[in-house]
Amino acid sequence: MTVKTATVLTVAAMVALAGCAKKKPAELPPPPPASTAPETDTGTQAPVGSSIIPGSRADFLQQVGTDTVHFGTDKSDVDSEAQGILTAQAKWLVAHPAVRVTLEGHCDERGTREYNIALGDRRATAAKNFLVSQGVSADRINTISYGKERPVATGSDESAWAQNRRAVTVVPQ
């Protein structure tokens, strides 16, 4: 094949491909209509214009306020502050019986990895047991311990350690 023939074939291929280019439509379709929130298990609806889906993680955080309870140093007992938070979580979970959650147990950086995994497990289990005592079915709650592996606060002082000693109720998106 000669250079002239190759050039002609290349130009012909480019012209053919240019003819296949997608053209912009003359008029764009209208945007989708604003959807109304679906009803929850309790028959309530989200406020008009709300983008929060009932039974979602965002709904949980909006209704309950927090997904986290904190613990004292080397402690796994649910104190009165944690009881208040877990009671609110339990009410939400009872109102949304199709939602399953995971309780994560966490610790501060002090102590061995093995000790903190066991302590994180005790914290997650204590929070689970409290939720079950409030009427939430135990088979809807999984527990996992991360020990000191997932801190929310960095630092080696009491302020950081206090934030990391926690159990977190994780509602799927």
- One-letter identity of residue 6: A
5: tokens are: 């023939």
Assign 16 a pLDDT band (cuts: 50, 70, 90). low
Q: What is the three-state SS of the chain?
A: CCHHHHHHHHHHHHHHHHHCCCCCCCCCCCCCCCCCCCCCCCCCCCCCCCCCCCCCHHHHHHHHCCCEEECCCCCCCCCHHHHHHHHHHHHHHHHCCCCCEEEEEECCCCCCHHHHHHHHHHHHHHHHHHHHHCCCCHHHEEEEEEECCCCCCCCCCHHHHHHHCEEEEECCC
68: tokens are: 């986290």
CA dist 166 and 69 (Å) reads 6
88: tokens are: 């609110």
- What's the N-to-C CA distance of the chain in angstroms? 61
Would you say residue 35 has pLDDT above 60?
A: no
pTM of the model: 0.70
Would you say residue 65 has pLDDT above 70?
A: yes
CB-based contact 141:100 (threshold 8 Å):
yes
pLDDT digits (tens, 9 = 90+) for 120-142: 999 999 999 999 999 999 999 99
pLDDT digits (tens, 9 = 90+) for 79-122: 999 999 999 999 999 999 999 999 999 999 999 999 999 999 99
Q: Which domains does the chain have, with CATH numbers?
A: 62-152+165-170 (3.30.1330.60)
